Structure 1
Amino acid sequence: MGDMNVKKLKKKKDRANYVHHLLNDIKALDLMLKKGMIETEPIRIGAEQEFCLVKPNYSPSDNALEILKDIDDEHFTTEIGNYNLEANLDPLELKGSCFSNLHNQLDSLLKKAKDAAEKKHTKIVLAGILPSIGLDNIGEHQMTPLQRYTVLNEAIKDSRKQDFNIHIQGVDELNLLFDSVMLEGCNTSFQMHLQVSPNSFIDTYNWAQAIAGPILSACANSPLLFGKELWSETRIALFTQSIDTRAKSFLLNENQSRVSFGRNWYTGTVTDIFKDNISRFRSFLTSAYIKDSVDLIENNQTPKLLALQLHNGTVYPWNRVCYGVGNNKPHLRIENRYIPSGPTTVDEIANMVFWVGVMMGKPKKYDNLHKRWDFKDVKTNFFNAARYGMAAQMYWDGSYKSCLDLILNELLPMAYKGLYKFGVAPKDVEYYLAIIKNRVKALNGSEWTVRSYRHLLKSHKRFEAMQILTSKLYEKQEQGHPVATWRILEETTELPDADSRVVKHIMSTDIFSVYKTDSIELVLNIMEWKNIHHMPVISHDKELIGVLSWKDIKDFKDE
């Protein structure tokens, strides 16, 4: 969708034209499969790196378009938030030193971005959710001012016809009404692509679903949102709710969210996955379609399936099917969307090596999983991993196993075999998989963040702790050591620049409020019990109508 000049579907004629091309693209894909036009080899890998831009005080910096202009490199593109950018890495054949080569390109691209950002007094941070992001950073005025994001926001809001109700329960609880899709801008990920042969696509896709839980448990990196400790990988819950087109009603709504793990195993061919998405999710965007895809095939040309790609760009399964054309050859990929950005580039490449290795190392005993495993067990594994990270248990092949045992005893050996089978250099395999082994035995990004944040809260208010955490995250990323080697922050850790403190760094966020109908006696006692001197007064419609101070009511103390 990002490369298209999109607009909302409004007129009946436009909708009919779009649907015609969409269904025609499905026919064309079926035809290409029958004709054997889809590339079966070689297998390639690729990745997309999303990253955050921050000011010198480590709060989000909404100057992405300025920095993108200075970078002046087609590898980079925008994200919905004007404080995020994305770098698209070149696809590489799965062999030899492909992963270290990908790592070198990633570091090189980020160096280019850092140089451009530095000129704007901006830093780059890799984080699934930036610890220092706040509610004041996610208004519509901080959306990247490009048509495609405005149209997407308006289309989803029109579809819902009500605000987004965000509720995430973890150690803390987030309960929030929000009026745009900008909450999605809190999320940044390291999206990994693996080309898959059309002949084995469905079985490979089902395997990608089966391993998602244990893979995510080792890679979790986003436990905080607005200073609240939520899921080990909070992005999973936040993304699902932040662009949900379903409206709440008194009717039993069985619709599936556009961000989803899925409802069942797939069978048939890859077109059945696309057909399922088209059946479940109506299109709300369109673009310009000039050529008929079926006609192109009959004229020995390769179609880009633009209508299908546009629809696919508005559906967000955690493992997404992608169709693409490279060197005039069509191919199919699985896009892994659940891995967060960060904590370092070496951790990200290790995550990719681990995932690709397990994908390619599947033993024959796991063929046709859809006939033997219950899909709900796999789905439960995924959400348990998102909630609890390495502390989760996985129901795997008929019994419960800890993530630690499953990864060390089965998945890592499987990854070694899969990578060696495709001729990946032993030096790459051993280096990156050792990072995963050390991480699952020590701590992942989520664990480091939580432990450090809890320590900081012992001596700092919430906003200051969030800022310190982001500053130290940046420092450790620049050093480049894997997260498993990081020391947890001490409670005495201070801001790099003490002069950057503002009011919100020292204010209390644990607020006690009263209704205007509450008794003075109750208010007096609350103030004394909690040692507070001011209390907001709210109406029964939850609107602020005033503030009471101790001075206002102390004279009533002895009455």
Structure 2
Amino acid sequence: MGQEVDAAALGRERRRAHRERLVQCLAAFQGMLTEHAAGRARFEADPPRVGVELELVLLDPATSAPLRANEAVLRRIAATSSRSDAQLWGPEISAHTLEVNLPPGALEGRGLAALERGLRDRLDAAAVRARESGGRLVMTGLLPTLLPEHADGDWMTPSARYRALQDAVLDARGEDLELDLEAAPGTPGGQRLSLSLATLAAEGACTSTQVHLKVAPEQFAASWNAAQLLLGPQLALGANSPFAFGARCWEESRVPVFTQAVDTRPPELAAAGMPPRVFPGSGWLDPARGALAAWDLFAENVRIFPPLLPQTWPEDPMAQLAAGRIPKLPELCLQGGTVWRWNRPVYDVTADRAHLRIENRVLPAAPTVLDAVADAAVWLGAVHALRSGGPDPSALMPHHLAVAGLHDGARRGLAARLPWPGRGLVGARELLLEVVLPLAAEGLAQAGVSAAEVDRYLQVAERRAATGRTGARWQAQTVVRLEEQGADRRSALAEMVARYADCQDGGQPVHTWPDA
């Protein structure tokens, strides 16, 4: 969940103070990493722990349209849950979206089953609260029935943080936001979306499954490089957003929509090569830098991107460090929270102990909880295997090829051709079945995950790849069939979403869902 901000503290006079504090934060962070590398335990060295943040949408069950009811549902959750469970929930930027954060847990043993059970239990309870509020809770990367008329300010969650963020993005850009994307050639029913927006509604439309992996600083570079290499395969396997504001676009349209929805660059700066704030990264990390490699990503966030929310806090990070305490580095964390990397580096402090984690943000909200945990298992296992035994992508493949794989995986799903060290461009299904899934099985076994769990979750991923039945494929094919039967686009989308929600409630993975 994001940091709250004081909107009154974001004037121009605070910008210089904020920038100075960012420099201090970076110095303190560098000092901590240097001391850790020298043997002074500044960061947690426990076995890796895994957490999940899941974003969801609310539907009107009568029409399958979005329902502005997140605050009402959250109030009911708070009134009927334990304090600790209620604190796991929060609103997202659009009034029809909300999120749940699962407490981190161990991966070894039955960790994946515990993750699945934790998600199911909380979603089942929240679904009851949604029904009491007149809605239906659904997981999907971009709600297909979200249309341009749902993009005005009335659809924003009232929040000082979200209002400040919207004002900052639009002020930095100096003009309305533009969505412009087109389906890959040959996509049945493919269309072009062109839409101007004066709100962050398109950003709020994008809902994801974010997997958090806590790693020791000395393992960070290899883990992050592995996560970067896996961006394309993840999207090819997990695509679930074929419609954007009613148009049939990419298999995972959420990727370009999100990129453009918070693009602070006016067209001139984009043409000049300035990167967008939804950022795949500019290169591999250097494993030879050891623990200090993590610092490079945080420094890059500060070096490239002007602060959007220049707030400062009372903490003096260098004084905290000198006194033997762990600084929280709130300004540096806030800066990182306004650079939307697909693999985001996170510094955090819990119970006076610092840790680093990778927040994998590339996956959409999945068709079912089982599909979501299968996707997480693939990523977690493959990252573990790659960081342990290679191949090392930083030595074998230019980073821009991994970025190209990200975009082709999002554009064409399992029909994409993806790069892999030593193999060149490979069909996505072949790469997943012959390389990535075996790596995931190896890595999960190395991490101590029970063999039964490895089989359960990777079998779901394998059948999805083998059949080609992703969430995106099911959605798109269902709409095509409904339109062939005489439905117009809006009614076809509404009917498809209703069937999608019914199948999701059934809990069976998407590759088993019936045809229209």
Q: Which amino acid aligns with 1:128?
A: G
**SS class of match (1:89):** strand
Q: Does 1:289 align with 2:289?
A: no
* Corresponding residue for residue 53 of structure 1: 58
1:404 and 2:410 correspond: no
User: Which residue among 205, 229, 233 is the counterpart of 1:210?
Assistant: 229
Matched to 2:227, the amino acid is: A
Residue 370 of structure 1 aligns with an amino acid whose one-letter code is S
Per-residue deviation, 1:262 = 2.0
The runs of at least 4 consecutive aligned structure 1 residues that moved more than 6 Å come to none
In structure 2, the partner of 1:41 is 46
Distance in 2 between residues matched to 1:347 and 1:250, nearest whole Å: 39
Match of 1:68, SS state, is helix
> 1:126–1:10: structure 2 CA closer, same or farther, 3 Å change rule?
closer
Distance in 2, matches of 1:177 and 1:81, equals 17
Q: Tell me, what secondary structure is at the counterpart of 2:17?
A: helix
2:230 partner SS: helix
- RMSD, aligned CA: 1.6
2:70 match? 64
Q: 1:464 to 1:117 in 2, by over 3 A?
A: same
Q: C-alpha distance in 2, partners of 1:415/1:274?
A: 28
TM-fit CA distance, 1:51: 0.3
Deviation digits for residues 150-171 of structure 1 (CA, Å, limit 9, x no counterpart)? 1111111111111112110112
Give the gaps of 5 or more residues in structure 1: 490-559
Spell out, residue by residue over 1:500-546, the C-alpha distance to the aligned partner (whole angstroms, 9 max, x if none).
xxxxxxxxxxxxxxxxxxxxxxxxxxxxxxxxxxxxxxxxxxxxxxx
Whichever residue aligns with residue 449 of structure 2, its letter is V
For the pair 1:79 / 2:92, whether they are aligned, the reply is: yes
Q: Give secondary structure in 1 for the equivalent of 2:142.
A: coil
| Cα distance in 2, alignment partners of residues 378 and 272 from structure 1 | 19
Rounded Cα–Cα distance in structure 2 between residues aligned with 1:475 and 1:214: 28
Higher relative contact order (CA 8 A, sep 6+): 2
User: 2:171 corresponds to which residue?
Assistant: 158
Query: 8 Å contact 1:9–1:15 — kept in the other structure?
Result: no
8 A Cα contact 1:6 1:286, kept in partner? no
Alpha-carbon distance in structure 2 between the residues aligned to 1:14 and 1:124? 40
Distance 1:150 1:355 in 2: 34
**Partners of 1:316 and 1:22 in 2: how far apart?**
18
2:262 pairs with 1:257? no
| 2:470 corresponds to 1:470 | no
The structure whose residues are more often helix, as a share, is: 2
**Counterpart residue number, 2:366:** 342
- CA distance in 1 between counterparts of 2:269 and 2:345 reads 34
Q: Distance in 2 between matches of 1:295 and 1:30?
A: 14
TM-score if structure 1 supplies the norm length? 0.85
Aligned equivalent of 1:32: 32
Secondary structure of the equivalent of 2:268? coil
Structure 1 partner of 2:129: 116
Alignment of 1:370 onto 2:394: yes
Aligned match for 1:128, one of 121, 127, 141: 141
Say which SS state the counterpart of residue 256 (structure 1) adopts: coil
Aligned residue number for residue 2 of structure 2: 2
Residue 394 (structure 1) shift: 1.4
Q: Report the more deviating stretch, 182-191 or 257-266.
A: 257-266
Out of 375, 383, 386, the residue aligned to residue 359 of structure 1 is 383
Alignment match, 2:260:
241
Counterpart CA distance in 2 for 1:135 and 1:364 is 46
How far apart in 2 are the matches of 1:378 and 1:173? 25
Confirm or deny that 1:460 pairs with 2:487: yes
295, 319, 323: which is aligned to 1:299?
323
Tell me the distance in 2 between the aligned counterparts of 1:22 and 1:357.
Answer: 35
SS of match in other structure, 1:204: helix
Distance 1:385 1:247 in 2: 27
**Per the alignment, in what secondary structure is the counterpart of residue 87 of structure 1?**
strand
Query: Is residue 193 of structure 2 the alignment partner of residue 174 of structure 1?
Result: yes
Counterpart of 1:92 in 2: which secondary structure? strand
Q: Among all aligned residue pairs of Structure 1 and Structure 2, give the percentage whose two residues are the same amino acid.
A: 30
* Deviation of the 1:363 alpha carbon: 6.8
Moved more, 309-318 or 356-365: 356-365
1:325 aligns with 2:344: no
Aligned residue pairs, count: 489
- Structure-2-length-normalised TM-score: 0.92
- In structure 1, the residue matched to 2:157 is 144
- Residue 18 (str. 1) matches residue 42 (str. 2): no
Larger gyration radius, structure 1 or structure 2: 1
